[in-house]
């Protein structure tokens, strides 16, 4: 069954170091939503991020032997994600149906739904050797 990522787009509020006054109620609603997804057997992981001011970006170059460069946050809000879920459902429509149930109460909340690439999406390029390595890694880290 395919996996989908539900990305929560960042907002000025999520990029702030100030906790909202209604955070306790929001956390309760989100915990209930996550429990509903877990009870339905679709939730694989759910996490949120701290503001980008506490993070960094690593930039790579196509120049041979070039060292990556690091830029510390904060970053422009429009290019950020503030949280995500990974769910396993039958298709995009079911993933979107779950996304529409996220208990957000603001006008600027956006959830982007993206399918996670699987070995089958790479066709012949996914050799048996690479497939075995991937499967072994999933067993080692306890993932599906």
Domain ranges of the chain: 3-118
Bridge partner list, 69: 59
pLDDT at 131: 86
pLDDT at 144: 55
Contacts of 67 (CB under 8 A, 6+ apart): none
Q: Decide: 44 and 86 in contact? Cβ < 8 Å.
A: yes
List, for the chain, all residue ranges whose pLDDT scores fall below the cut of 50. Answer: none
Fold of 3-118: Alpha-Beta Plaits (3.30.70)
CA atoms within 13 A on the CB side of 109: 13
pLDDT at 119: 83
């Amino acid at each position: 069954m395919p996996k989908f990522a539900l990305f929560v787009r960042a907002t000025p509020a999520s990029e702030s170091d100030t906790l909202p006054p209604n955070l306790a109620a929001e956390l309760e609603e989100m915990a209930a939503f996550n429990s509903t997804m877990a009870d339905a057997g679709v939730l694989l992981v759910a996490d949120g991020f701290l503001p980008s001011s506490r993070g960094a970006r690593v930039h790579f170059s196509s120049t041979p032997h070039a060292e990556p460069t690091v830029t510390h946050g904060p970053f422009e809000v429009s290019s950020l994600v503030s949280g995500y879920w990974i769910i396993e459902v039958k298709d995009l429509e079911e993933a979107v149906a779950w996304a529409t149930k996220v208990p957000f109460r603001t006008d600027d909340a956006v959830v982007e739904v993206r399918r996670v690439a699987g070995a089958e999406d790479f066709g012949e390029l996914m050799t048996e050797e690479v497939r075995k390595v991937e499967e072994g890694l999933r067993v080692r880290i306890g993932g599906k």
